[in-house]
Amino acid sequence: MKVLFTYDYGQKKMSCVQDLGYEVVYVYEKDVRLNEQTKDAEILVCYNPFPHLDIQRMESLKWIQLSSIGIDQAPVAYIQRTGITLTNNKGGYSIPIGEWIVMKILELLKNSGKLYGLQQQKKWALDTTLLELYGKTVGFIGTGSIAGEAAKRLQGFGTRILGLNTSGKDTPFFLRCYPMDEMEEMLKECDIVILTIPYTEKTKHLINDQTLGWMKDPVYFINVSRGNIVDEGALIKNLNNGKIKGAALDVFEEEPLPVSHPFWDYKSVIVTPHNSWISEMRNERRFALILENLRRYKNEEALLNVVDLQKGY
């Protein structure tokens, strides 16, 4: 069986795949095209080669393993129609993103940006507006593995942690979880709102004028999910009127974020370049999942992280 990789995990790791009995082909993702070398691959391990790799002409393709958690870059309609199995990297980046969330909450509450600016100016000026995280209510929209890793860490700060998921099912590390139709009730409780829900057609612009209106005044807002879940115009409106006291944004509707975008200019907004998932362990965890799934595929066992294409995650 041939497996096509669009990322080079190194000779040692690729040898582990060959030891399972696979024929391994590696082509850098930006360079991969349909040709004699790639067209008969049964398995595709990738992030987003789809703009220039025509998988509709890969007649042997049975399974796509994504290196991302999100699947919005993939041609889902075609994959669903043809019965190709799609797996993602759910859980692979949860620890670094969970840590990033905690860090940004503290940076917002402790006015770190302002204080770093004073340091650059070599200016000694006491800031008496810093807030405690202790006792705050933190609400997660989405209670998957990323939210779980963040919630686990936030427990040590004496916070009250709420979550919103499809059915309101109880989830470890959350004091209470609400179903989606009780979103307003949860948001009214929260001092800090964190967006960790997958992007689907149903969640596009879930954060809008109405849902922002349900939030406390003031409130802190963090997004590590997908930019398209937020109506950026509505968020800007609520930054301008002061309801959003501070925001930490790692994802945006357009990436890279245009230099003309207003988010760059707010002192109350932390902008990072879709960076929250990065850590020195990212390739280790990612490849461990890939190798385990390749082993399972070879042995005709159930794969990990199979995406429910109806739900979109």
Q: Which of 90, 142, 92, 147 is nearest to 306 (CA)?
A: 90
Is residue 304 in a domain? no
Query: Within this chain, do residues 120 and 204 fall inside the same structural domain, yes or no?
Result: yes
Q: Is 226 part of the annotated catalytic residue set? A: yes
Q: Is 205 part of the annotated catalytic residue set? A: no
Is the dihedral angle over the CA atoms 204, 205, 211, 215 positive or is it negative? positive
Query: Within this chain, do residues 265 and 287 fall inside the same structural domain, yes or no?
Result: no
- Which residues, at least 6 apart from 152, have a Cβ–Cβ distance to it below 8 Å? 98, 172, 173
Please give the average pLDDT of every successive group of 10 residues along the chain, which has 313 residues.
Answer: 98 99 99 98 99 98 98 97 98 98 99 98 98 99 99 99 98 99 99 98 98 99 98 99 99 98 98 98 98 99 98 94
Is residue 238 in a domain? yes
Can you give the pLDDT at residue 33? 98
Distance CA 117, CA 108 (A): 14
Is residue 125 in a domain? yes
Q: Is 295 part of the annotated catalytic residue set? A: no
CATH, residue 176? 3.40.50.720
Tokens standing for residue 242: 């002061």
Can you give the pLDDT at residue 72? 94
Q: Which of 23, 255, 284, 292 is catalytic?
A: 255
Can you give the pLDDT at residue 219? 99
**What predicted TM-score, i.e. pTM, was given to this entire model?**
0.96
3-state helix, strand, coil in the chain (%, to 5): 35, 20, 50
In total, how many domains does the chain have? 2
Structural domain of 134? 93-271
Can you give the pLDDT at residue 300? 98
Query: Within this chain, do residues 18 and 61 fall inside the same structural domain, yes or no?
Result: yes
Can you give the pLDDT at residue 31? 98
Can you give the pLDDT at residue 246? 99
Distance CA 186, CA 177 (A): 9
Q: Which of 160, 176, 205, 274 is catalytic?
A: 274
